Structure 1
Amino acid sequence: MKMLKKGINFMGKSVKKFFLRLSDPSIILFSTLILIFSLAVIIRSIPLKWGLFLTEFDPYYEYYLAKKTLEKGVLWWFQYSPSQREFDTLFWYPYGRDLRRTSQPGVPILVTLIYIFL
């Protein structure tokens, strides 16, 4: 009986010590970040059961801009002048849209450079 009380008392102290260490802010922060990251990966991987392909319209548009940047060169984005407007009617038919003036160049240029270097 005495041995049982010592065991319970020892377990109580170790559990208490564990929870005191667990209340350290850095451990709580690290655990929360791991939980959030795991949840994000799980949620983002749900569509994989239907196949790996681009969904929605934005990835197709970024792909189109990267392809156009690869064809015309990376400096094409920076050689803009109002007299040299290029209207692309693929997305805004019938009037067209000047891609260099109305699009952000970051993703297409980065993708083009990665494609060139790889």
Structure 2
Amino acid sequence: MGKITTHVLDTALGQTAKGLALRLYREEADGGARLLSSAVTNADGRLDRPLLEGDLLEAGRYEIRFHVGDYFRSREQSPPSIWDVVPVAFQVSDAEQHYHIPLLIAPGAYSTYRGS
């Protein structure tokens, strides 16, 4: 059964990013984006359940929008982050696979990769 999962690490603090809001969208045929789910990371920087799984996961283009600006502002980190929302767009070609999309964040940088 295919699914989309994520986790977020705050590399500036060397810890998980607890309380970070994110939203998953799927690109529609008309070029628009449809909101499929939203969640907030738990104490482990992960979600309590997949963003999408099973029959709801279809081949297509998806985007997770990580609301890192709100996360950093809530922690009053110095220096403040220049990032507001980090969009990570990716292609699902096989709806039976597990797509794990982690995000590593800091006030001045971010990176991602395909996890396992």
TM bin, normalised by shorter chain, reads under 0.3
> Whose RCO is larger (CA < 8 A, sep 6+)?
2
Q: When the two structures are superposed, what TM-score results if normalisation uses the length of structure 1?
A: 0.20
Q: Which has the larger radius of gyration?
A: 1
TM-score scaled by length of structure 2: 0.20
